[in-house]
């Protein structure tokens, strides 16, 4: 595929150098200004509607919270940092990886076998000192089957439910859906 890097930046030296590289996170330092930033592969979240207009929400145990949480299904776009670094900066390849991850996570976490019109709704950027983007995808559920959970997901289980827009708004207001970036995206999506 053709590289879709910004043509205005072609002759500009990348001022960021990797200082530390682990399996999932790197620390980069700006060579001119001395700033540092953490870099990790992006994630994906899915806003999927069925034919009745209900939105799929999962309930799963979150170790970082020590409790169950309602959330949009989703996960990692890449399993490791090196895979991400290979496509970082190539928007076309990154977009395809995001869509592929969306289909995979829909099947694994929610048992969705077929999605119509899967597309990127938005990208949530964490900030200047942390590069960890979350891509939000929308689509229509055409066919549901069985989940394909692995690891912790299989051990703790993931419940799948379909909720009306009104029910989701109440879940957002009450804090039942607590992933902050998803809360903001869902509010914008529902209130459009």
| 50/143 Cα distance (integer angstroms) | 9
DSSP-derived letter for residue 177 is: B
DSSP-derived letter for residue 154 is: H
| 18/30 Cα distance (integer angstroms) | 9
DSSP-derived letter for residue 111 is: -
Q: Find tokens 């879940």 and name the residue.
A: 171
* pLDDT at position 61: 84
Q: Find tokens 């940092």 and name the residue.
A: 81
The whole-model pTM stands at 0.89
DSSP-derived letter for residue 42 is: -
| 105/41 Cα distance (integer angstroms) | 15
List of residues 6+ apart from 59 with CB closer than 8 A: 68, 69, 70, 71, 158, 159, 161
Instruction: Locate the domains of the chain by residue range.
Output: 42-142+151-190
* pLDDT at position 12: 65
Q: Which residue has the higher pLDDT, 151 or 170?
A: 170
- CATH architecture classification, 42-142+151-190: Alpha-Beta Complex (3.90)
Q: Which residue has the higher pLDDT, 7 or 63?
A: 63
Sorting pLDDT into bands at 50, 70 and 90, what band is 11?
Answer: low
Residue 139: alpha-carbon gap to chain centroid: 14
CA-based radius of gyration for the chain: 18
Model pLDDT for residues 17-57, shown as the tens digit of each residue: 999 999 999 999 999 998 999 999 999 999 999 999 999 99
Tokens of residue 88, six digits: 């970082």
| 176/154 Cα distance (integer angstroms) | 22
């Amino acid at each position: 595929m053709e590289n879709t890097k910004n043509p205005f930046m072609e002759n500009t030296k990348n001022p960021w150098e990797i200082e530390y590289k682990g399996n999932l996170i790197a620390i980069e330092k700006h060579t001119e200004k001395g700033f540092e930033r953490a870099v990790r592969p992006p994630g994906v979240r899915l806003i999927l509607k069925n034919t009745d207009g209900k939105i799929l929400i999962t309930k799963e145990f979150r170790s970082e919270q020590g409790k169950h949480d309602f959330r949009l299904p989703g996960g990692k776009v890449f399993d490791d940092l090196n895979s991400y670094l290979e496509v970082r900066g190539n928007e076309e390849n990154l977009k395809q990886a995001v869509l592929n991850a969306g289909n995979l996570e829909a099947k694994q976490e929610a048992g969705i076998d077929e999605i119509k019109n899967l597309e990127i709704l938005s990208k949530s950027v964490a900030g200047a000192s942390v590069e960890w983007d979350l891509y939000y995808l929308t689509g229509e559920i055409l066919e549901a089957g069985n989940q394909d959970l692995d690891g912790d997901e299989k051990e703790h289980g993931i419940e799948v439910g379909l909720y009306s827009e009104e029910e989701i708004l109440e879940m957002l207001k009450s804090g039942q859906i607590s992933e902050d970036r998803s809360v903001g995206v869902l509010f914008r999506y529902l209130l459009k």
